[in-house]
């Protein structure tokens, strides 16, 4: 006679295989999420600038209605201190007198809500002449772009 197995006897089972059939779906879902959420820099900086440092630095909340203006030395190569200064609005080098027309073109492409929120971010080299910065601000005033943000890097303690 064979011995009877008890109800509580242990049966030796193998480790179940992991089902990875849904893994590609998960990977593509995460990839699409990051592609949608990530904000890519749309303009290449064509001027050399060394941004000043500050202690109370805040990040901008709404970047959809943001216009970047860079003021720095023309060209990206390290040259002498006698380099000429240049103004870059978003991706193009411009003259300060061209700023009002360019701002109006940008404003025309925004929604009504973002037109009210239009903010200009000035990234200015710490050695830039204040006369040039004042001239840019005067032309921004002519375009009724009155919300101006000055960019700086945060001082690490």
Q: Where are the domains of the chain?
A: 47-154
pLDDT for position 152: 77
- 100: β partners: none
Q: Are strands 119-124 and 47-48 parallel, antiparallel or unpaired?
A: unpaired
Give per-residue burial for 69-104: e unless 16+ CB within 10 Å, then b.
bbbbbbeeeeeeeeeebbbbbeeeebebeebbebbe
Residue of 136, 149, 141 whose CA lies nearest to 51: 149
CA 112 to chain centroid, in Å, comes to 22
The class (CATH top level) of 47-154 is alpha beta
Distance CA 25, CA 22 (A): 5
pLDDT for position 5: 59
Distance CA 138, CA 95 (A): 13
Tens-binned pLDDT, residue by residue, of the chain (157 aa): 565 655 666 666 777 777 788 888 889 999 988 888 776 656 677 777 777 777 777 776 767 788 889 999 887 555 555 568 999 988 888 999 999 999 999 888 888 888 888 889 888 888 889 999 999 999 999 999 888 888 877 777 6
């Amino acid at each position: 006679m064979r011995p009877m197995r008890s109800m509580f006897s242990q049966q030796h089972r193998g480790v179940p295989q992991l089902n990875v059939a849904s893994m590609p779906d998960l990977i593509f879902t995460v990839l699409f999420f990051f592609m949608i959420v990530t904000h890519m820099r749309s303009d290449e900086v064509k001027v050399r600038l060394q941004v000043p440092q500050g202690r109370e630095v805040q990040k901008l909340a709404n970047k959809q209605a943001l216009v970047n203006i860079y003021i720095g030395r023309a060209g990206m190569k390290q040259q002498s201190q006698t380099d000429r200064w240049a103004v870059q609005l978003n991706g193009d080098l411009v003259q300060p007198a061209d700023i009002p027309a360019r701002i109006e073109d940008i404003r025309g492409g925004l929604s009504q809500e973002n037109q009210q929120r239009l903010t200009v971010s000035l990234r200015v080299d710490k050695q830039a002449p204040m006369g040039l910065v004042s001239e840019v601000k005067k032309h921004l005033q002519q375009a009724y772009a009155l919300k101006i943000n000055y960019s700086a890097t945060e001082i690490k303690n």
